[in-house]
Amino acid sequence: MSDVWRPIKAALLQVHSLVGLVLALLWAVVGLTGATMAFEDEIEASLNSQMMRVEASAARRLTPDELIARLAAAGDFGKISAVTMVGDPSAATRIRFARSESGTRPSSVYVDPYDGHVLGSPRGEDFFATVRKLHRWLLLPGDGNGIGRKITGSAAICLIAMLITGLVLRWPRRARSVKTWLKPNLGLRGRGLHRSLHAVIGTWVLPVYLVMTLTGLWYSFEWYKAGANWLFARPQAAAAAMQSKPPRGGATAESKGETKTETKAEAKPLAFDHVWSAFLQQENNSYGRALMTLPAGAGTAVRVRSWPRDSTLESVRDEFRIDALTGRVISSDRYADKTFGERVLASVLDIHRGAILGWPGKLAFMLAAAIMPLFAVTGLLLYLSRRRHRRLARQPVGHLVPGE
């Protein structure tokens, strides 16, 4: 090692160690919660398999508003916020509710699409909702509008710095040796074993962690999202993407026509049937699953996301915004019309959790996230070992006596 490189490497080691010590616990929490959610859909489907299925019938399925009316007659469940309709005649309809004045959100319910009979609330929903809040916002007040979102985003940026400094620090003399890079030395003990596990396993998961952090920043910072849209999307698509949702903590009108109808919407709750009819016309009555979400503010534009029957990815979907009072289609964003860059942006969540590679990718990303605490433990042990060696290296200096 050259004399020029030695102080640089020492400085990088200090930065790597101190940042790791400060943020190790936070990264461990985010990693474990991310691993827990990796197969959330599959787990919930298994837990609620009987509740999610009904006996297919030749009878007409009820419209969204008819289902909501039957649900209201069955009891006071709360204010409706979203309805998920499924094209499969043997699938139940899922209805979600808005937050109450206290800030809590009631559990969603499955209903029979033929008679509106309540089938029950899905098991596991509240658990995964809590895990998701911990993963994204650390359960801090304000949820997406609070400081937790900025903390996890800043931690992601720091993790990128850790990945880079870690790679530089462990760069071996035989850089072209695959064995040196990827095979841990399990014959070592103590500090040597800790260093080998920390460095080699860190090399294994480095690409996965880099993908996770770069996609995770999409959900933390608006400037990052705006930059990604500018880089990958067409100008008109980027502008539409930034205006598709109201600012956090507020709401805006979707169009001039929507603004004119806001007063009417406040006097009467919004209905879904106009939206549903317009959506079926847009998709030619061919869909696998459709999620209709009411606006959070005083607008009248209902957001409709539609997945085809053979879709296994969250990103492969069409999206519409339809006026609930008139059934007018305000905007239409079809997956087939997206450019490659826009499809990448639409796939951020699927890339973030490895689903873009199918279940093997999800499994690999889950395992990588689950072993995040390993780096916290081995990193701490290495730090304590270095401090102990420094103390032993210091020679005790006795009192000098003249003449000795």
Q: Band the pLDDT of 66: cuts 50, 70, 90.
A: very high
pLDDT at 240: 66
Spatial separation of the C-alpha atoms in residues 124 and 129, rounded to whole Å: 9
Task: Indicate the average pLDDT of the chain.
Answer: 88
Phi, psi for residue 274 in degrees, rounded to 5: -60, -40
Q: Which two tokens stand for residue 140?
A: 């801090």
Mean pLDDT of 358-368: 96
Per-residue exposure over 126-164, b if at least 16 CB sit within 10 Å of its own CB, e if not: eebeebebbbbbbeeeeeeeeebbebbbebbebbeebbe
Q: Which two tokens stand for residue 25?
A: 């616990």
Spatial separation of the C-alpha atoms in residues 261 and 258, rounded to whole Å: 5
Spatial separation of the C-alpha atoms in residues 314 and 354, rounded to whole Å: 12
pLDDT more than 70, % of the chain: 89
pLDDT tens digits for 217-267?
999 999 999 999 999 988 876 666 666 555 454 444 444 444 444 444 445
Name residue 97's beta-bridge partners: 80
Q: What is the model's pTM?
A: 0.86
| Number of alpha helices (DSSP H) and beta strands (DSSP E) in the chain | 16, 8
Give the single-character DSSP code of 315: S
Contact 290, 255 (CB under 8 A): no
* DSSP result, 164-206: HHHHHHT--SSTT-HHHHH---TT--THHHHHHHHHHHHHHHH
Q: Band the pLDDT of 400: cuts 50, 70, 90.
A: very low
pLDDT tens digits for 121-131?
999 999 999 99
